[in-house]
Chain A
Amino acid sequence: DIQMTQSPSTLSASVGDRVTITCRASQTISSYLAWYQQKPGRAPKLLIYRASTLESGVPSRFSGSGSGTEFTLTIASLQPDDFATYYCQQYSIYWTFGQGTKVEI
């Protein structure tokens, strides 16, 4: 099974900050990596797929990079609506999520 490890688990930030979340895969997954945003009581929302492709309607302040085993999600300038939990997911072999990164004030 492919394991996904996110860091940090919690991130304290302020509006306007540049935020970076890292996701590591236990084996190479090429670019089969997605990022999701989840707010309390809500379903996850797809932000990025294929490691760096922005889903339609997602603000351009979100970006993704990486390939192989190491990936990053960057929020260029944190907005009030961005305080949430973020998950990476590999879909190279079945599907595995990271444990999540909570972005809080």
Chain B
Amino acid sequence: EVQLAESGGGLVQPGSSLRLSCAASGFTFDDYALHWVRQAPGRGLEWVSSINWNSDNKPYADSVKGRFTISRENAKRSMFLQMNSLRSEDTGVYYCARDSTYGGRLSGAFDIWGQGTMVTVSS
């Protein structure tokens, strides 16, 4: 079964750091690009960042540019989101999602989603 599973969320103070992980199974990992999407409590979906198959294309939303870093390790079938200088407005559920385009480019809709991991930034 094709699956994504996030981990690493938690309660942290403003200004601190957190690293999220996304583990993939059921498909050839380096054939696909991946994305992070977040959802603040009671709010809509917000694209955060993306990474193509070989990590040479990594766009970020303006709201996280310079604070968040996306990466992936194809041998470990994993993607990561390093979040630094966290703010209260970063609070929400973070989802990883697979790009629907076969071949690893950043060009499609999001066809597979993980269950999400909750990040709470509060003092």
Interface size on B, residues (CB 8 A): 20
Contact B44 A98 (CB under 8 A): yes
CA distance A61 to B114 in the complex (A): 26
Contact B109 A91 (CB under 8 A): yes
B13 at the interface (CB under 8 A from A): no
B84 at the interface (CB under 8 A from A): no
Most buried by A among B107, B108, B114, B115: B108
Q: In residues 26-47 of chain B, which contact A (Cβ within 8 Å)?
A: 35, 37, 44-47
Chain A residues with Cβ below 8 Å from B110 are 34, 36, 44, 46, 89, 95
Contact of B35 among A43, A45, A95, A98 (CB under 8 A): A95
Query: In the complex, how many angstroms separate the beta carbon of A77 from the nearest chain B beta carbon?
Result: 25
Chain B residues with Cβ below 8 Å from A94 are 47, 50, 59
Query: In the complex, how many angstroms separate the beta carbon of A30 from the nearest chain B beta carbon?
Result: 12
Query: In the complex, how many angstroms separate the beta carbon of A10 from the nearest chain B beta carbon?
Result: 13
Name A1's closest neighbour in chain B (CB-CB): B62
Contact A95 B111 (CB under 8 A): no
A82 at the interface (CB under 8 A from B): no
Contact B47 A97 (CB under 8 A): yes
Query: In the complex, how many angstroms separate the beta carbon of A67 from the nearest chain B beta carbon?
Result: 15
Query: In the complex, how many angstroms separate the beta carbon of A57 from the nearest chain B beta carbon?
Result: 11
Chain B residues with Cβ below 8 Å from A95 are 35, 47, 50, 110
Contact B45 A97 (CB under 8 A): yes
Please give the residue numbers on chain A whose beta carbons come within 8 Å of chain B beta carbons, in ascending order.
Answer: 1, 34, 36, 38, 42-46, 49, 55, 87, 89, 91, 94-100
Further 9 A-B residue pairs, CB within 8 A, beyond A87-B45, A96-B47? A1-B62, A43-B114, A43-B115, A44-B110, A44-B113, A46-B110, A89-B110, A97-B45, A97-B47
12 contacts between A and B (CB under 8 A): A1-B62, A34-B109, A36-B45, A36-B110, A43-B95, A44-B45, A49-B109, A89-B110, A91-B107, A91-B109, A97-B44, A97-B47
